[in-house]
Amino acid sequence: MSITHISSLSQLNGILGESKSKLTVIDFHATWYVASLFCSTRTLHASPLDRCGPCHAIAPKFEALAREYKNVNFLKCDVDQARDVASEYRVTAMPTFIFLKGHTKVDQVRGADARGIEAALRKHSTSSGGTTAFSGKGHTLGGGPAPTDVKGEAKRAVDNAANAASAGLAGIDPQVKVLVGLIGLYVLFWYLG
């Protein structure tokens, strides 16, 4: 899916109104304005060096995710161009990624955290480009044979639990064992004294 650049709160509300149940991700980024030496007004420089470093670094990943998650709206918002949108979501750091279902904010990732963005996408999107959230075989009711030896299964479960308990004590660090023993002796002598 392509990335839509939003420039106003009314444009955003129109997009969100069209897709109330669809996940929407807004990338709030900054293109810095640099004051010219020969002019009193601020002028926009399109040079990549004038862009917010983390915003520039995460942009290719955001574009790749937009191609992968076709069932999600991907929007970009320049905080200097659409201040009303940035203030609506109280964006104070760039980049910030706001995740919405309809008009409801469901998640937020601050900074160029690609793993955090992907985790939020997996968590809130219903499907990602034809893949499902569960990739196992799964089972259906009545789909497999019932265990024939119920008593044997129960005995094995009890044995496994007992082995796990004894293995848990055996796996404790020797220094911790000594410390616990010393504390026990201290309590015993205190009680007897």
- State the catalytic residues: 52, 55
DSSP states of 30-48: -B-EEE-TT-SSEEE---G
Contact 4/75 with Cβ under 8 angstroms?
yes
Single-letter code of the amino acid located at 158: V
Sign of the CA dihedral running 28, 3, 129, 62: negative
Question: 């799964």: which residue's tokens?
Answer: 138
DSSP for residue 147:
P
Run of H or E including 28: strand 23-29
HEC secondary structure over 49-115: HHECHHHHHHHHHHHHHHHHCCCCEEEEEECCCCHHHHHHCCCCCCCEEEEEECCEEEEEEECCCHH
